[in-house]
Structure 1
Amino acid sequence: MRRAVRGFTLIEVMIAITIMGVLALICWRALDSVANSDQRLRQADAETTTALRMLQQFQRDIEMRADDALMNGAVRPGDQPQRLLPPSLVSERHPDGSFALEITRSVGSDGLHWQRVRWWRQGSTLWRASGAATDRYPLPAPDLSKGIAVAREVQRFEVRAWQPGTGWAVLPSEGEVMPATGLELRLGLRDGRGPLSYRRVLEL
């Protein structure tokens, strides 16, 4: 005689449903963790790309700076000469301690047009502004109201100059010193990963 087929009891069904629910929750949390990790990686990559672009733009401005012969030809005759930096670079310190650097650089491939570019930190934002490019002097000053925010959450923006025989000198510098042969840019940012530091050394 065949035995009757025994079905699942209510308790067994409830246990199975509970196990399935737990497994579904574990899977959902795993997927959510992967999605969050991917989002954080994408954000970190975007922030790193922004920092690298800023460093490249700063380096480009320095590399395209006007030579001393042109600057001595009265690009800005009212400026006081700086003995540490070349005439195309002018640094200043704001009352709040933040640093600013103005660069006179060439524009285009013909080498016949020039402009003044200013880098400065205001609060936690690093700005870059440029004046109109022209082949006539005096060159227009950078329009700060049209500046571009090149980096945010900036904790530090400092530039030092390498003085032969002495080492790194804080800018701006005063007094009789040897002309600098290099610049050091230090950039401190903060993002989801915490504080980040970037450093680039450029030859003058």
Structure 2
Amino acid sequence: MPASRTTTAFRRSHRGFTLVELLVAIAVMALMAILSWRGLDGMSRAQTQTLARSDEVLVLQAGLAQWKSDLDAMTASPQVIGLDWDGRVLRITRRGSAGPSDGMRVAAWTRRTDAGGNWLRWQSPPLTSLDDWQTYWAQAQNWAQNAGDEDKKREVPVVPLQDWQIFYFRGGAWSNPLSSDGPDKETQSALPDGVRAVLTLPPGQAITGRLTLDWARPTVGGGKS
């Protein structure tokens, strides 16, 4: 083979990329990088949203567990009201969680619009006298209507709540405690056999719509609620 042909073939086999080929390669790599970034960003957003939803569910479960705990520990006597619903706040006189030495407490649940429409729980300090109970029983009602700074320190937001209703189970049927057609006053002063809370959870949460919570007194429901 002549030398000139050999040199020409060598140059063709060892020539570099042209400018157009480099630009095309760079464009393809850039497109792949963008698509990869969008995929990773989408996965990251999905993971963040999933974690947020999981946290919302855990908070709701903790709130419902506390609700059940308050009702399970409910107590009453001729001098102390155990349970009261006035259409705005549910007040509960409950035993202390640390045993008899912890005294009694007043726990209260309400929905306040000035708290962002959240379902809130409030609790008094340990109470050891009837005068203390009367003070905090009244304070729980005031907290639901117009909470002061000190009251807000004792409240815990549970979940956003659009609306809620309370029903008592007495005489084999559910009834509105505020209804004039309900049981007589003497019966109303006694603890009900069951309590039903109907919660309306707003859109945008992990769990939305209507949620019904039924609780039965352990002595009535065989220890189940």
Q: TM-score, normalised by structure 1?
A: 0.78
**Correspondence for 1:27:** 36
Write the distance in 2 (CA, Å) between the matches of 1:42 and 1:128.
Answer: 25
User: What secondary structure is seen at the aligned counterpart in 2 of 1:120?
Assistant: strand
Distance 1:12 1:196, change over 3 A: farther
Identical aligned pairs, as a percentage?
19
Write the distance in 1 (CA, Å) between the matches of 2:207 and 2:125.
Answer: 38
Write the distance in 1 (CA, Å) between the matches of 2:89 and 2:166.
Answer: 9
**Correspondence for 1:106:** 95
Q: Which has the higher helix share?
A: 2
Q: State the structure with more CA Rg.
A: 2
* RMSD (Å) for aligned C-alpha atoms: 2.4
Shift of 1:157: 2.6
Amino acid at match of 2:176: V
Shift of 1:189: 2.9
Distance 1:153 1:176, change over 3 A: closer
Contact 2:164/2:200, CA 8 A, preserved across alignment: yes
Write the distance in 1 (CA, Å) between the matches of 2:177 and 2:24.
Answer: 72
**Correspondence for 2:175:** 169
Distance 1:176 1:13, change over 3 A: closer
Write the distance in 1 (CA, Å) between the matches of 2:102 and 2:26.
Answer: 78
Counterpart among 131, 142, 165 of residue 158 in structure 1: 165
Shift of 1:197: 4.2
Counterpart among 88, 92, 113 of residue 86 in structure 2: 92
Amino acid at match of 2:180: E
User: What secondary structure is seen at the aligned counterpart in 2 of 1:19?
Assistant: helix
> 1:51-90 residue pairs with structure 2 within 5 A?
51-67=60-76, 71-72=77-78, 74-75=79-80, 87-90=81-84
Distance 1:192 1:116, change over 3 A: closer
Gaps of 5+ in 2: 1-5, 144-150, 218-225
Write the distance in 1 (CA, Å) between the matches of 2:158 and 2:24.
Answer: 55
